[in-house]
Structure 1
């Protein structure tokens, strides 16, 4: 094994990350509602000794129902079921700080951590878009900076709630008739700008102290938030140089925030199209591209770029007068990534839609198992990544292929474990300590 551990997360998205995956003959267009489908995927990722699996979510119906399978099962409900179907793999679910309450969400993640034996993780999102806002009685989305300010207070409250029980509160003294020591209970009594939360959590402190905290924002606000709170960051990076710069910047910010940079793991997304030969991988990539319906991608791209419907032309390049990132209130970093990709490679709108169809801006790579493993190793060893968010283009086939063909190469190169070993919690898998309780009195030495 390498001195540094390569971390792998399986990002599971219904029939796969490629928008046309559901159209392939082997795909089940109803898989996104099938518990057996997700159990199979979770067990496959566990067979590949992945650190964790991840479910995305949004409090709004995502995308065009004509384009691909739409609607998702609520992630914490699904992850609870997957906890009973697996033994080792971490379980990371997405939940929004914009459209939840701290007490309820802290309780749900604490419950998942208990049920899973310390394998829960929270992908923290602030949720962009007016559509989501209107689902919660708002006329429009809050400003970008305000969403992150709310998220910071939300996290502070959640951490207080997870710490509101000291670890040794439960004494269970049958003879004395005392179950718990009330002096070790610490109600937050929080009064803030966005939240007022009085009482202690009604679930004991989670096995991990608190779930693994994951974040995916790459904007300036997002990076500041990550430096303060995040323990893993999911990011979209198109180039090795860009990934190295992002990795170095984020680690420096973590250090400046007074934290150990080793306690934050940066995991770029990669969409691997794997074939026994490079030509076979390219053919598989082309089959997927041929199943894209350009009109669907055009509508999504216009929405992302804040363009009126009918503005973009498939065989033309992007307009020269697109607004700067500062003028965009939602998904700032993804907006910039897409525009820079199109400008850098001089892509037409049609070509850009094809590039985005596999991973929505994440790196898509077609090649043999050895070539995919070599790309992963290059990024890992050159300081561009601490691991990868593996995003199979087609499920379950893409995850099967990665585990059966790429994982053995990674193991042979000394990059990936052969078995899980003694560390049982998700925090342990990521090499992170169990956090001390902020309210507990330090023991006298």
Structure 2
């Protein structure tokens, strides 16, 4: 005996973030008599919700086909297919609508509260926990989690708690992963995901803020992607780069973030097809200076830089370009190689690949396959997504299914 006071609950949720609150609220609604506690290690709850989407909270994504939705998860795609058939985007929209919060869809599919404020979501969660009598304790980091007969025992600095059921929703918390590892669970080491590429290159040096569609592949890997690419002061960002960083999180970590990418500024064109198109331009605009007018709807400044990179003076007229120069320009347009030297975190939303091994979880219930009455939700699992509201959708889906499983097991 430690001599510390001990408190008993039906359900204890470790982690006061999105997944933890969502699970607690749903469990309380399904089990009105249950005594539920949320333990948060920090002095504030829902901190990631507050900064998400630049303070607007990117609640989910307007993808309504389960199999398509699951394709946005580099780790977790296969495992989430089934759960998404039970609770996904439409259910999330309805859940918030029932609580007076309307969501809107932006052009890129991301969904935000109409208020454009993450406080709307935070206030909803805090109001609901208060209404349902869910206890929330801040500044309570968990020191250990142990099985005590039919119950779970949770040790914090000044209080010991017991619970019939425990849900872990602590995100990328190495201390909790260590505790789970001690319980026999396998942990996949965490590496960064969703990052931008640091590139110093004359061809993009004077182009920060420029955005264009491109296809990209990592030289020497099978990794490739297509989408909007944004040039920044430190290199490249945008959806195409972020997707590559998510799918290649492990491979790029192994390369210490030093690798090369090949950019095709005109997806759909091969180098050979581009050379033919440039020869046609030479015939159609023989007297035009090749650097004056951007071709193929490329941004003008990018076009000029690529012409220069092909060792062509921009005042040269098309008629005077030889075959070698046309081939050089074709390569700059379709096989443009850049050396990446390091990465930068994407905004404040630090996402990692890694966590509890998925083979040890029952994805019908989000319960541990090793220990009865131990559940998981959110990024504590080795599940992560590309940017756009998908990580939150994983939290809502896991939290709902875990709550449902805990409630049915209590009946």
Asked if these proteins are the same fold (TM beyond 0.5), I'd say no
- TM-score normalised by L of structure 2: 0.25
Q: Greater strand percent: which structure?
A: 2
The higher radius of gyration belongs to: 2
Q: TM-score, normalised by structure 1?
A: 0.23
